Structure 1
Amino acid sequence: MARDQLQVLNALDVAKTQWYHFTAIIIAGMGFFTDAYDLFCISLVTKLLGRIYYHVEGSPKPGTLPPNVAAAVNGVAFCGTLAGQLFFGWLGDKLGRKKVYGMTLMVMVLCSIASGLSFGHEPKAVMATLCFFRFWLGFGIGGDYPLSATIMSEYANKKTRGAFIAAVFAMQGFGIMAGGIFAIIISSAFEAKFPSPSYAEDALRSTIPQADLVWRIILMVGAIPAAMTYYSRSKMPETARYTALVAKNAKQAASDMSKVLQVEIEEEQGKVEENSRDKSKSFGLFSKEFMKRHGLHLLGTTSTWFLLDIAFYSQNLFQKDIFSAIGWIPPAQTMNAIEEVFKIARAQTLIALCSTVPGYWFTVAFIDVIGRFAIQLMGFFFMTVFMFALAIPYNHWTHKENRIGFVVMYSLTFFFANFGPNATTFVVPAEIFPARFRSTCHGISAASGKLGAMVGAFGFLYLAQSPDKTKTDKGYPPGIGVRNSLLALGVVNFLGILFTFLVPESKGKSLEEMSGENEENENSNSDTRTVPIV
């Protein structure tokens, strides 16, 4: 038997879409815009770093980062992100969403700037400094995941909650695209002012001294949107669900939401105190009771996010390798350093514009219509289909006349990642767990995703590059490493389909209904312990 819901929470659930909803989306979404820019801009400049710091004097070929250095530069931010998701997710449930929200932005601002100022007389010193600051940049980014999702879910009404949370996450697409556009602009500007010859003309002069500024500027610009968002975040009131259900301050919750919703809301402090005395709701995280009610749910959110990020981050971080393998980006020795940045950025921006960004907004449009489960299942299914369609006849796609077809199908995998599990794995953990564990459980789910991102980043690097670089003399056709990687990612996506069946559907339900927080006793929580799929 359900309890009467607190008036302040019911008011949020049934509120019509208002300006404060869009304000919250913009404030939280700008954090994700910055997150995506900071995480993915490194893939635009890794080849430039190789040219600048690892060129062998007198060699006719441009320098490249050693595989272990490339893996560290690309993957270290994920290590920091994983740690930040766990730490700030836990802290958000202890200190409140608002108090911790601003901390993450300041870390991001400082470390974005510091990454661009990486110093050292030797290449190893520069790379070590860069990796150090990108770890802490990732730490700040990690905190943004559970806090942004939790705040948006607790502000939203139940009718359009999925769309609002997905809209926050969709800003990631604009962040990826912004990184590419800015790299195009800065590389074009430097090429116009400091034109440099190609390797064919002069190998020793193809990487101009000014090229060292390009990657630093691209990394430091990520501090600007984070700094712009800080003031707005500091003015947001604490969410009513945290204030009432965790901090047990019904008066403050009613006061805050009365101002936001512009309606009179009863305090109901007595009802909050009565709920806090309910022994059936005093169980701890990972207790027997928690595992009974939410164990399968947590397994579902962690496993699907882990599998999704193996595929998603592999594709994003190493697009340049795939495009080079099929000839969409010319060989490095045919262009100078700035040209290479320009062409990599152009390719990644085109993919973001045509598939990544539309995919996110398709999710926003349909998530509260067809539900989280259907979108996630559909996304994993089509990602599996397209990965195998690219991998099995891979030699067919490497022929010049078939490259456009490869790019189109490759773009579709991004579309269905974003109109699919990349969005839903972010949305669902913010909806199905109790308020006092919501940020923590979202952080755990997100951290499992970043563990998958590291598997993808490090694993794909070696799987895609090793055969191409070390075994061509033994008869391997060019690109066999990329083919194996695509096959592996197809298997990963298929596993995502299976684990999706552990994830509950939360469409149209209140947060308290999903978490069981408005139930009289544990025996009436059967709906929360089951695994509804439609």
Structure 2
Amino acid sequence: MAEFIQHDRHHEPFVGEIPVPHGPATGDEHEHYPGPTPPAANSEQERAIFSYLTHPDDIYTEDGTYWADLPLGKRIAFINKTQNEEAKAELKAIGRMMKKDPLSPISWYFRNAILPGAGLGLEGYVLFSIGNLDPLFKSTWPQCWGKNATECSSNWVASVTYLEVIGIMVGQVVVGVIGDWIGRRWGLIQDAAIMFVGLLMITASWGLNLQGWVICYAWSLFFYGFGVGGEYPITATSSMENAVSSGKLSTRDDRLHRGRKVTSAFLMQGWGQFFNQALLIILMLILHHGDGSPPYSTVTTQWLWRLSFAIPAVGTLWLVYYRAYKMPHASRQLAAAKKKSNVTGYDFESLKATYSFFGGRLLATAGTWFCNDVFFYGNKLFQAQFIDVISGGESTVMTGWIWNLYNVIVSLAGYYLASLLIDNKFYGRKMMQQVGFLMCFIMFVVPAFHYDYYTSKAGIKAFQAMYFLSSFFNQFGPNSVTFLVAGEVFPTPIRASAHGFSACIGKSGALLASVLYNYIDTQTKFYVVPWFGLAGMLLTWLFLPDTTGLDLKEQERRWAYIRSGRENEYHGIAIHPKHLSLWERLRGVGKNYNPELDHKQKLDDIREDWAGKERARANMEAGGEPTGTEDLEDDHYTDEVHRYFRNETGAKVSYHGAVMTPASVSPAPASSSKSSTEAMNEKSG
């Protein structure tokens, strides 16, 4: 929605590529531009000129105080004012859109939520269809899926779930590395292509006997799962970096709606589950007699499950085309970060530094995802047994599917509420995840110790309510938040790798549930599962930083200091106690936070970036090759900034021994004449 709002805003910058803080000059670095330090008398003039870059009004007050530094009363007033103004601006934007074209909000949602999350939607459709089809297979082929199977090995039947989850885990790690090594775009295309071929394999799977078919089916799911696993790190990072549109990190939209962007794509997983379950019900009514009650013929079952996989294959083929030809800039932010660090290929130095500086964050993102997936996939795996309990043990396949459809609808409500509140500074990521884990713990631990009552006629309604509430709070909590923060709390060069690693450890929780649940009864599952919710809440509280309202540009800026070996000289908001975990605060990470020193450093960083752009312009006008480290097309400096720096440097900038004057420099576009989004739209369209 911001692309429509920002037409009414001036001086909205693109601030994304942060220069590495300069230290002693080396022979390979650009010579720092000459010029005296501005006198103290210019401090107010500097604040007026640079405030749109150093103190954006959506996170700073007029006097330059960061929102998290305000006393509680003033903080509440500031946050409410900012959020209310943003809500009004969005409503006005929607009104203008509808006045121009009544259907334009739908097309906007399609472009900004459905398309970015299409891969996850297709993944959710197929991934959870396996569990939905399981009771149908048990009813049709009891000699293979039953407890007393005679034609199939129980190990091969169980491997249908195991191989699917293992394929996902492998894909998450491998494609996460590919996303940081070769690029986001390649990962996006590769995942869609693998999922398309995997769907063809699943749809066409066959065997000389039932066990042969089960083996073919299981390995087809493993192949498909590899593509599914890759969707997690690639979709999260590309949505977060908004590579398709601007390739920049720091805009008002990023600060206020970054979480909503990512979760809007992620919640397509819920719609995938919904459409799968709805389609299975429709196909059952079409291909089977009456109300869908047993017995089920093998012909009906074969047609039903093969059609259910063939239909999403068409959408996946279209996704391959869309990603290959309509997403040319998906790797732009990663490429810019690598150029800043002078890295080609995989950034092993960033990976090593991440373990050193962000080890606690890795523990938080991986550990909480593990706890969540025991809940999330465990819930899915034993939903048929739960439905047997609440239906008195007389449920049919159709009954189970209808109950599951209700559960998916409740989950979708959780997905959307998470998207609505995940950027709210009063609630936000960390609180949402803690509350979600706590509620899941309560909703399972209560029936665990009063199982006989809640499975009786007197308590069954409360049992149903608690089960559905656990699904709601799982989405309105850890399932949505883990997907977002697993990439958000790490720097760009290894973001996909960290996300993929966290997701892989998370899926090991799903694997644990799928193995464990084969050996314990329903009541024991309720005894075991709650403690993963409690563990997830404690891991979140201790190790997860709260990035709600944090400008991601500041995370990249802090990373530049870390990469240059000057981490203790960074004083900005990325180490504000509000945005650090308890573990990081106990280790003293936030001790260097100092707004005044940070303001001076920001101005130095801006000077360095400006000088680099001016040198690059002079070099290109002199016939030289572009350095590749300055993005001249997205110059976010106003005319006032250019005049200030040129006056400060005596209208001269040194470029490797040459002297460049303003006459030799093409004037930079003033951001007051065009919003950043207008300039972006002109370039892309």
Report if aligned partners of 1:145, 1:443 keep a CA contact under 8 Å in 2: yes
Instruction: Report what 1:524 is aligned to.
Output: 569
Instruction: Report what 1:72 is aligned to.
Output: 159
Instruction: Report what 2:618 is aligned to.
Output: none
- What SS does structure 2 have at the residue aligned with 1:137? helix
Instruction: Decide whether aligned partners of structure 1 residues 108 and 524 sit closer, same or farther in structure 2, where only a CA change above 3 A counts.
Output: same
Runs of 4+ aligned residues of structure 1 deviating over 6 Å after TM superposition are 10-22, 61-66
Report if aligned partners of 1:107, 1:136 keep a CA contact under 8 Å in 2: yes
CA shift, 1:148, in A, is 0.4
Instruction: Report what 1:183 is aligned to.
Output: 280
Instruction: Decide whether aligned partners of structure 1 residues 347 and 69 sit closer, same or farther in structure 2, where only a CA change above 3 A counts.
Output: farther
Report if aligned partners of 1:47, 1:65 keep a CA contact under 8 Å in 2: no
Instruction: Report what 1:105 is aligned to.
Output: 192
Instruction: Report what 2:498 is aligned to.
Output: 441
Which structure would you say has the larger RCO, counting Cα contacts within 8 Å and 6 or more residues apart? 1
Instruction: Report what 1:135 is aligned to.
Output: 222
- What SS does structure 2 have at the residue aligned with 1:316? helix
TM alignment of 1:80-159, pairs within 5 A: 80-155=167-242, 157-159=254-256
By percentage of residues, which structure has more helix?
A: 1
CA shift, 1:209, in A, is 3.0
Instruction: Decide whether aligned partners of structure 1 residues 8 and 326 sit closer, same or farther in structure 2, where only a CA change above 3 A counts.
Output: closer
Report if aligned partners of 2:168, 2:225 keep a CA contact under 8 Å in 1: yes
Instruction: Report what 1:325 is aligned to.
Output: 389
CA shift, 1:229, in A, is 2.4
Alpha-carbon distance in structure 2 between the residues aligned to 1:82 and 1:523: 37
- What SS does structure 2 have at the residue aligned with 1:192? coil
- What SS does structure 1 have at the residue aligned with 2:254? coil
Q: Deviations over 1:173-226 (max 9, x none)?
A: 111111110110001111139x99856xxxxxx535322222222233332332
Report if aligned partners of 2:257, 2:423 keep a CA contact under 8 Å in 1: yes
TM alignment of 1:32-71, pairs within 5 A: 32-55=120-143, 68-71=155-158
Alpha-carbon distance in structure 2 between the residues aligned to 1:283 and 1:342: 52
Instruction: Decide whether aligned partners of structure 1 residues 528 and 303 sit closer, same or farther in structure 2, where only a CA change above 3 A counts.
Output: farther
Instruction: Report what 2:535 is aligned to.
Output: 495
Report if aligned partners of 1:8, 1:240 keep a CA contact under 8 Å in 2: no
Instruction: Decide whether aligned partners of structure 1 residues 220 and 75 sit closer, same or farther in structure 2, where only a CA change above 3 A counts.
Output: farther
CA shift, 1:513, in A, is 2.0
Report if aligned partners of 2:284, 2:292 keep a CA contact under 8 Å in 1: no
Tell me the percent identity: 25
Alpha-carbon distance in structure 2 between the residues aligned to 1:185 and 1:518: 55
Report if aligned partners of 1:187, 1:341 keep a CA contact under 8 Å in 2: no
- What SS does structure 2 have at the residue aligned with 1:128? helix
Alpha-carbon distance in structure 2 between the residues aligned to 1:114 and 1:528: 49
Normalised by the length of structure 1, the TM-score is 0.80
CA shift, 1:322, in A, is 1.4
Alpha-carbon distance in structure 1 between the residues aligned to 2:414 and 2:111: 23
Aligned residues: 464
Instruction: Decide whether aligned partners of structure 1 residues 290 and 211 sit closer, same or farther in structure 2, where only a CA change above 3 A counts.
Output: closer
Normalised by the length of structure 2, the TM-score is 0.63
Alpha-carbon distance in structure 1 between the residues aligned to 2:203 and 2:494: 36
Q: Deviations over 1:110-154 (max 9, x none)?
A: 111211221112111111000000001100001110000000110
Q: Which residue of 226, 232, 238 corresponds with 2:330? A: 238
2:260 is the counterpart of 1:215: no
Instruction: Decide whether aligned partners of structure 1 residues 22 and 44 sit closer, same or farther in structure 2, where only a CA change above 3 A counts.
Output: closer
Report if aligned partners of 1:431, 1:514 keep a CA contact under 8 Å in 2: no
Instruction: Decide whether aligned partners of structure 1 residues 184 and 63 sit closer, same or farther in structure 2, where only a CA change above 3 A counts.
Output: farther
Alpha-carbon distance in structure 1 between the residues aligned to 2:208 and 2:124: 30
2:579 is the counterpart of 1:513: no
Unaligned residue ranges in structure 1 (runs of 5+) = 200-205, 249-271, 332-339, 464-480
Instruction: Report what 1:450 is aligned to.
Output: 507
Report the residue type matching 1:51 in the other structure. S
- What SS does structure 2 have at the residue aligned with 1:420? helix
Report the residue type matching 2:223 in the other structure. W
Unaligned residue ranges in structure 2 (runs of 5+) = 1-12, 19-51, 59-85, 94-106, 243-252, 583-685
Provide the aligned C-alpha RMSD in A. 3.2
Report if aligned partners of 1:9, 1:240 keep a CA contact under 8 Å in 2: no
Instruction: Report what 2:349 is aligned to.
Output: 284
CA shift, 1:366, in A, is 0.3
Instruction: Report what 1:299 is aligned to.
Output: 363
Report the residue type matching 2:559 in the other structure. E
Higher mean C-alpha displacement, 225-234 vs 129-138? 225-234
CA shift, 1:517, in A, is 2.7
Instruction: Report what 2:596 is aligned to.
Output: none
Q: Deviations over 1:369-416 (max 9, x none)?
A: 021100000000000011111211111122235333212110000100
